[in-house]
Amino acid sequence: MGSLRFGEEEVARGDGLDIRTVNLPPGGGLFMRFIQDWSRMAVLNKLHIYRIMAQAEIQSLTNASMIVSVVGSGATPDIPDAGRLMQRAWIELNRRGWAVHPYYVIADQQTRLQDGRLASSPWEPRVRKAVDGLSAHLGLGRGERLHIMLRVGKPTRTPVRSLRLPLSKVFGAA
């Protein structure tokens, strides 16, 4: 949430994700701004709002023209290779006129499960079942994992692109 940018002034800094790049329903940007404060989201989760949000995420996947799954070794030294592969695929798809939207929820839950952060959670059995099913569906071998999924489709309108910091600011002297 900290990387989301709302309004022209925030967006102009170029150091985050312009909220307009996210496929949200009407009022979605206001809702995202509202839940930036995690205490508000915690209250809404007690009212099971996460179910509605999850359903919207799933629907966006089912409406995609294609899904690109970046899979590979789960060994820590190999993770940057998966990131580089994702970047090359994303750039090439954009070059060919395809819109790309990252979908990290499943990979994130897989990481939480593997790191033991879901131990004793009521979510652990459900996440384990989903991860096991995904592994079988993707034909993952021992030691392999999903790193990220990309929802890909032809845009129906010109997409908004987030600004990027100049490389001199990213790699320059502090």
Please give the share of the chain, as a percent, with pLDDT higher than 90. Answer: 28
pLDDT band at 174 (very low <50, low <70, confident <90, very high): low
Alpha helices in 18-173 (DSSP H): 28-34, 38-46, 49-62, 79-95, 105-114, 124-138, 167-171
How does residue 173 score in pLDDT terms, banded at 50, 70 and 90?
Answer: low
What does the pLDDT look like over 101-156, one tens digit per residue? Answer: 888 888 888 889 988 999 888 889 989 998 889 888 889 888 899 999 999 999 88
In the beta sheet, which residues pair with residue 146?
71
- The span from the CA of 82 to the CA of 21, in Å, is 23
Predicted TM-score (pTM) of this structure:
0.74
